[in-house]
Structures are given as C-alpha cells and as structure tokens.
Structure 1
C-alpha cells in the first residue's frame, strides 16, 4: 500500500525543484546578456554581428508611440490597453438569501506599434503582451449603475436577480513609462531595429532594471529550492512512516494469528483429553473441517471467547465483547476505535 499524501508531496517537491532550476537558469541567462547602454549602439552592434545571430540584448528607455491610444475615462495616453466590463448583481440562492455575484460582459485588448527611446535613438518592441514581467497600470475604474426600468427590474426579480450595475476597468501601459526589455534584436531591410521574443531564451518587459530582475529571479530560485527540499523531506517522511506502520501491523497480525492458532490447538487437545470430542467418534466431515480451520474465530485478547465485535472505522473483527469494552485502539492496526458494532451468527 502507498501513502498517496507522501507521494503527492514528493511530486510537488520535484515540480518546485524544476521551477528552481528554470528560474535560476533565467537569472544566469540575464546576467550573461549583453547590456546596451545607448539605443543608437544597437544598429552598429547588429551590423558587426550579422554572422552571429541571434543577438540577445537588454535595453532600457521610455515608452513612446506615433499613434498612442487615448483612454476614455482618463487623460492617459497608452500603447497597450486592456478593458474589462463586469455585470454586478444580486442573486437569490436556495435558502432565499440574496448574495452578490458578477459576470464578465466584455474583454477588449488593444496594442499599437510602440518603441523605447532614450534620447539617442529608438527601438521597437514586438509581442510585449506575451513577455514576462509586464505590469499594466490601472487607468480608470468606473461603476455604472443599472437603469431603473420597471419592466426590466420585474423580469430580473422573477428570475431571482437584482441588477446593480456595470464595473469597467482599464489597464494600460502609458507612454513615458521607463522599461527594461530583454530579447532578440533584429533589423529589417529599412533599417528599423526591433526587440522580439527569441526562439530560445528569456523575453522580459519589466519596469525593473536588469540588476533588479536578476536579484528577483535569484531570490525566487532559492525559495523554490528550499520549498522543494521541505516538500520532499516531508513526503519521504510520510512514505517511510506509512511503510513502517504497515510492516508493524503485519507483524502484529502474524503474531496474533499464531497465538490464536496455538490457543485453538490447546482447546482441541483439552477437549480430546476430557472426552468431549473423541477423535474416533468424529465424522469424516468434521475432521476435514478441523484440518481446514487455520484461523479459528477466537478473541485475540483472551483466547477463550469467540470474537463478535467489529471496530469502526478500521473494520477489523478480532475481539469478544468483554475484551473490546477495555480497548481504545484496535490490536491489529492500532487505529483509534470510534464505535463498537456487535455481530451475531445464526
């Protein structure tokens, strides 16, 4: 038998170790990435490294765009906009009480071509929404109350609903935001330089500097490693303790079985000596039954009475009613006894 809890902890530890390795690998990769101090250096770097593609670099600058998005409920101008609209309402549950709930009505995501600039040049960023570390700012959060139409309100009430209103939230990446981008630098035929996701390697768009990113990933790598060790040790402990309990239970069961068989043999010898059950007068069927009776129905405590009590929740039946009244744990599996169920034979 297996300890599924212990196995689960061991598998969780393996998953955390895998996360630790990946996070540590990303941190080491970011440390080895070439840092471009000025964006104007990218073009000359790509010209000199045309035979050594891909070129993975880290650049920093401020967000800009030739056609930014204007937010509806704020004065912000952004290059990425994500808007969600949720319908909030009260609904009646089975007990007749009203509880608050919400449902997604609308989800919009927009992005315009944008770039990083630092005064010396600019570089376009492609596919930023799929990058790690991207953080969007909450531009606006508006709650619009539902209209008070009598007909609509009556229909909603009959369906067990009370409409409260619509909540609209806009998350944006504003222009002028300072960002650090780690990715593959490429240059097209028109001379435009872009940063995009590399075929292999890390792709980050983050407000943190490259040093902060490396420190952040290193910290999480160590945390994942410590948690992996803890989960694995605890899982091994659960598996080992379950195996030891199972082994001890089997040994106790075997010892009790031997005691019962020895007691049954002594009882048969005593009956033979007293003449209660003369072997010469037995029928052939009774003799065969006695030979097949490897584990008599004898209480494992007193070894005299037949067992007739089932222990709950373990389900073992090995004691008589007199001995069971003095027990708190099952003599076979050592589990605590919560209930005694008496059985009867016809």
Structure 2
C-alpha cells in the first residue's frame, strides 16, 4: 500500500505505515502520526454484525422515561482499502531521521482516498456553495431590513399626519374656547379677591385639576394649559386641565 504525500505542492508516491504507542518503524517508511487527529479515515468495512439483545419487561418503561437502554451489540471491523492510494495532507517533519506527517486542525483533510486534483475541485465546490449561500443570506437580510425600514417609515408618516390633524383640531377647539371665553368674561367692577392672579383684569372662573385652585380667568387658564409643562401659578403643581366654574 502506498500513500501520496502532498508537501510544498509536490505529490510523491511512497510507502507508509501508521504508528501507535511510540513504536517507530524502519526508515524506509513514512510515519503517519494519528495522535490528536479528528479527521475521519477512509476506512472500508470488512466485517459487520449486529447482535440484538433480548429486551426485558421494563424496556418499554425505560425507553419511555428517557433512560438509555442498549438494543443490540455491533461488531464491526474496518481497514484501510487494500491496493488503493491514500493522500496524506498535514505537517511534515523529521523525527529520528524518519519523515513524519501529522494532522493539522487548520487543514480540511488528513488521510483521504481523493487525489490532489479531486481535493481542489471539492474545496472549490464547497467554496462556491458558501459564497452563493452568503450572497443569498445577505440578499434576504437586506430585503427584510428594507421591508422593515419602509414599514416603519410609512407608520411614522401616518403617525405624523394623524398628529398634525389632531393638533389642528385641538387648535381649532382652543380658538373656539378662547373666543367663547372672551365673549363671556367679565371686565367690569370685580373685587380684588376675585381677580385673576395672572392678568388682574377678569374674574376667576377656571379651577385647575388636580390641585383645585380657582385663581385664573378662563383665558389665562387656557394659556397656562398650552404651555409645555403646565403648572398651577399658585402651588406650582403640574396640571392636566382646567374646569370652568359657573355661579349659581
């Protein structure tokens, strides 16, 4: 059996032997060190036999409650394919004057029944799959992001339009209230204890909520409500709105 050693882009056909336990062969062979290798080996199954185990009456309950229970014993033997070249890809060094090849976790292969050209074709195919998969995922992500942006933009435009309409309605209602209040306000002879604390001209007609202070006329109360942070002019407590007070 021979092995194709890929070293510095050269392919050499040499005999090889696998070692285990530190036993080094004759120098005519290339040592393939399997220590620490996680790559699968190109093995061929030469013997395969499954011997079922007789189940006990409690097997069903054990399987039902998640307990592991063996259902059979597998007797299998695998060997390297006879009369077939195997390619070794790894780190090449000399130990005790004997060339040695070790696996490398950064390399996609270690022992394989593929040739160098087949490995290149296989890696190119996997690279294309990763490339087109990345392009597809990226396009899908961009599409989802664009859809989310457009949806939020439309929602923001709709919210802005509704807010403008609401502000226009509130402004119209406030103007109407102001006009009505101006028509109803008394500007005649008002006692000092009943004058508005802001304008000092009209009678106190509006009480603030929640503090309940009756200290402003309706026009001044409306102007206070239109402030960014409306507060009672007496106790400086934040107010929600005002209520028109009528005399009986």
Mark yes or no: TM-score above 0.5: yes
1:136/1:172 contact within 8 Å kept: yes
Q: Does 1:143 align with 2:50?
A: yes
Q: Does 1:187 align with 2:94?
A: yes
Cross-structure match for 2:41:
134
Q: Does 1:174 align with 2:80?
A: yes
- Structure 2: distance between partners of 1:285 and 1:227: 65
1:127/1:196 contact within 8 Å kept: yes
- Structure 2: distance between partners of 1:206 and 1:114: 24
Structure 1 pair 124–156 and aligned structure 2 pair: CA distance change class (3 A):
same
Cross-structure match for 1:285:
208
- What are structure 1's unaligned runs of at least 5 residues? 1-29, 40-60, 66-78, 80-110, 116-120, 295-346
Deviation at 1:168, TM superposition (A): 1.6
> Which whole-Å deviations, capped at 9, do the CAs of 1:195-248 have from their partners, x for residues lacking one?
123697675211100110011111111221122122222212322332232233
Q: Does 1:34 align with 2:9?
A: yes
Count of residues in correspondence between the two structures? 189
Cross-structure match for 1:197:
103
Pair member with larger Rg? 2
**Which residues of 2 match residues 267-286 of structure 1 at below 5 A?**
267-271=173-177, 273=179, 282-285=205-208
Cross-structure match for 2:115:
209
1:132/1:203 contact within 8 Å kept: yes
TM value normalised by structure 2: 0.57
Deviation at 1:293, TM superposition (A): 9.0
> Which whole-Å deviations, capped at 9, do the CAs of 1:6-57 have from their partners, x for residues lacking one?
xxxxxxxxxxxxxxxxxxxxxxxx9983324342xxxxxxxxxxxxxxxxxx
2:17/2:30 contact within 8 Å kept: no
- Structure 2: distance between partners of 1:182 and 1:257: 69
Structure 1 pair 206–147 and aligned structure 2 pair: CA distance change class (3 A):
same
- Structure 1: distance between partners of 2:50 and 2:108: 39
- Structure 1: distance between partners of 2:63 and 2:136: 49
